[in-house]
Structure 1
Amino acid sequence: MSHASSSAGHDVHGESHGSFGSYLVGFVISVVLTAAAFAAVMMHAMSPGVTIGVISALAVVQIFVHVIYFLHMNGSSAQAWNRICFFFAVGCCLIIVFGVLFVMHDTSMNMMSR
């Protein structure tokens, strides 16, 4: 039985796995972003609305760090199907989250009127 991998540690399809250095950079950036979010909450230096905005922005940056450094997604043509699947999954999650929020809000409004 033959395996479809080369001695360089890469698949035949050209999909590479990150080096130790890239994983370390991703980990350090993730820890810094998490510490920044924690500090934004613990310092009470901003209003609650601004704090939520800062945490949301840090979360979005964290998502991009994970996608780039840990999932190894980039703009190459070899990653086209991975990007399509990723955006489909993100779309499904957004539909579910906003659908649940809509139903909960609508239910709350209908129950409060009685």
Structure 2
Amino acid sequence: MAKQNNSGYPVSHIIGFIASLVMTFAAVGIALKTNLSFTVIMWLIGSLAMLQAGMQLFMFMHVTEGKDGKANLINMAYSFFLAVVVVGGSIWILTSGHMAH
């Protein structure tokens, strides 16, 4: 990850911004200019979105910097796990018919 130089110019922010734009335009291009199936397009756009969100956590929010960098990563991983369990469990319960008598 690029650090700021002595003049205070935010090199990492510029790199992150350009990378975000590239991923956004790639998603638009995939959605509008390809003849792929809807499912494949959605998977590609979702993958680019997750990649972009992760990159922004490191480039703009400086997750790993400071004395609590490792704790921040662990807390975010646990939060993601809880979100997956809650959403997945809710979808499972609502769609599996357990409440039908």
TM bin, normalised by shorter chain, reads: 0.7 to 0.9
Equivalent pairs counted in the alignment come to 93
Q: Deviations over 1:26-77 (max 9, x none)?
A: 1111121112112211224211121122112212211221121012133997
State the AA in 1 paired with 2:79. A
* TM-score, structure 1 normalization: 0.65
CA RMSD of aligned residues (A): 2.7
Structure with more contact order per residue of length (Cα contacts < 8 Å, sep ≥ 6)? 1
Percent identity of the aligned residues? 22
Whether 1:42 aligns to 2:32 is yes
Gap regions ≥5 residues in structure 2:
1-8
Flag as ranges the 4+ runs of structure 1 deviating above 2 A: 73-78
Report the TM-score when normalising by structure 2: 0.72
* Matched residue, 2:4: none
Give the Cα–Cα distance (whole angstroms) in 2 for the partners of residues 31 and 62 of structure 1. Answer: 9
